[in-house]
A and B are shown apart, each in its own frame.
Chain A
Amino acid sequence: MQRKAIIGILALALAAPMALAAEKSPWLHIKVIEGGEGGETVRVNIPLSLAEAVLPLVEIEMFHHGKLDLSELINEVGDMEIDIRGILEAVRKTGDAELVNIQGDDQTVRVTKSGDFLVVKVTDKGGKETVDVRLPLKVVDALISGEEDELDLIAGVRALGESGGGDLVTVQDGDESVRIWVDYKNSME
């Protein structure tokens, strides 16, 4: 009896850290439902640790050491100088507020600050198509933490993992939908 109890305690002691490690590891999930006849459903589950490990070692054109070089893109835009860091700093200092509201002929775009999140909502006039983006400000900070003309994707991924999870992007267009979110489960179920 005593032996069984010792084995049980040992098993728990070994299993608990593994279970906790699995629980705490953030995963990025993407679900795309393509509507209509013959439409496919695509599900992707990627551990953020994998992205964090691989991104620094991928070198493709504008992407080096996990950083996306935007200088070429900025040059193409022209001489217009936009102080993204300054804008974000100002946004952080303001309370919850609507920052942008564009009422177009066929759609509405709203950008708001809600708590620690930057929320973008695009709705078409018929209400058929909606796009919701909910980005933690910490992730935005991390993305622009490097040099002026680059996005630090590794820092962004790390910040995303520390942000506690939740929906990042949801798109609904009739019977088609896209959802991108982070949580601590290794599957969608």
Chain B
Amino acid sequence: MSSRGRLILGIVLGSLFVATTSVVAYTAASFHLTGTIAVEVMERDGNHISLKLPAAVVPVVLSLVPDKCLREAAREMQPWWPAARAAIQEIVNLPETTFVEVEGDDEHVRVGIRDGHFFVMVDSEDESIHISFPTGILKSVLKKLEGVNPELQTAHPRTLHSSYHNDPSI
């Protein structure tokens, strides 16, 4: 390949690289997601799994999920959508707290918010599972699901009937 050809190829590949990273960076930045998603599983027999990801990857990962799957999830959640949206908008603004804590002889479960992260911790005799993610992720997922299913933005609560009332045998 001539030096001119190499130059053109270099410019094209460079431009592609800049364009791709810019799109990814813009997508991540547009959701303003900071913090870390952490999943840690510690088994008493010695196995230890630790996964830490920057929250900024969430919008990128969401963009890779087929819209069909997201639409299905959004459709199933529709009756609860207004309540879920209101709850998430309140939760992201709450101060640090532990919403629920269950303490038993052999198990300790905690669910709450700390340092802007939603956490679930389960410590038992056999294993410890700690999961945390920035509360901003909830809003980001909300936005994405509303994006693929605009009906959700104007969804009204739908009356739900329990199986008890629907079951004619009861």
Contact = CB atoms under 8 A, between A and B. Distances in A.
A125 interface: no
Interface in B64-79: 79
A7 interface: no
Contact of A57 (B95, B105, B157, B159): B157
A16 to B, nearest CB: 15
Which size bracket describes the interface of A in this complex? 20 to 34
A187 B83 contact: no
A43 interface: yes
Interface in A123-151: none
B103 A57 contact: no
A61 B162 contact: yes
Contact of A59 (B86, B91, B101, B157): B157
Interface stretch (A46-54, A100-108, A109-117): A46-54
Contacts, number: 72
Contacts of B98: 43, 45, 187
A186 B105 contact: no
A90 interface: no
A71 interface: no
Interface string A54-79: 10011111001000000000000000
A8 to B, nearest CB: 23
B159 A53 contact: no
Interface string B138-162: 0000000000000000000111111
Interface of A: 22, 27, 37-47, 49-50, 53-54, 57-61, 64, 186-187
Interface of B: 79, 82-83, 86-87, 89-91, 94-105, 157-162, 165
9 contacts: A38-B104, A42-B100, A44-B99, A46-B99, A53-B87, A58-B157, A59-B79, A61-B161, A61-B162
